[in-house]
Amino acid sequence: MPAATAALSRRRLMARVELAGSAVCFGLMAILARKLTLPGAGFTAGHLAVLRFVVGALVSLAAFRLLPGLYWPSNYRLLVTRGLSGGAVVVLYFYALAHMPAGEAGILYNVFPVIAVVMSLFLFRERPTIHLWLAVLAASLGVVLVLGQGHAGLSLGRGGVAALAAAVFAATSANAIRAARHTENAATIFFYFCLAGLPVVLPFALDPWPRLTGGFGIWGLGVLMSLLAYGGQLLMSEAYGTLSVSEAAVWLQLLPIVQFLLAVPLLGERATGFGLAGVLITVAGVAYGTAFGHRRRA
Find how far residue 28's CA is from the centre of its chain.
11
90-111 CB burial, b ≥16 within 10 A, e <16: bbbbbbbbbbbbbbbbbbbbbb
C-alpha–C-alpha distance, residues 82 and 18, integer Å? 20
Cβ atoms within 10 A of the Cβ of 121, count? 13
Q: How far is CA 18 from CA 69, 204, 206, 259, in A?
A: 22, 31, 35, 17
Mean pLDDT by 10 residues, the chain (298 residues): 76 90 90 86 89 95 92 90 90 84 73 81 76 77 66 65 89 89 91 93 90 74 94 91 81 77 75 73 73 54
Q: Interior CA angle at 78 toward 126 and 87, to 5°?
A: 100
pLDDT of residue 94: 84
> For residue 287, what are the contacts with CB-CB under 8 A and spacing of at least 6?
none
pLDDT of residue 298: 39
C-alpha–C-alpha distance, residues 63 and 83, integer Å? 19
pLDDT of residue 149: 58
Query: What are residue 165's phi and psi, to 5 degrees?
Result: -65, -40
pLDDT of residue 228: 95
pLDDT of residue 271: 67
pLDDT of residue 190: 93
C-alpha–C-alpha distance, residues 104 and 9, integer Å? 36
C-alpha–C-alpha distance, residues 246 and 175, integer Å? 10
SS3 for the chain is: CHHHHHHHHHHHHHHHHHHHHHHHHHHHHHHHHHHHCCCCCCCCHHHHHHHHHHHHHHHHHHHHHHCHHHCCCCCHHHHHHHHHHHHHHHHHHHHHHHHCCHHHHHHHHCCHHHHHHHHHHHHCCCCCCHHHHHHHHHHHHHHHHHHHCCCCCCCCHHHHHHHHHHHHHHHHHHHHHHHHCCCCCHHHHHHHHHHHHHHHHHHHCCCCCCCCCCCHHHHHHHHHHHHHHHHHHHHHHHHCCCCCHHHHHHHHCHHHHHHHHHHHHHHCCCCCHHHHHHHHHHHHHHHHHHHHCCCCCC
Cβ proximity of 262 and 27 under 8 Å: yes
Q: At what angle do helices 130-148 and 245-252 cross, to 10 degrees?
A: 30
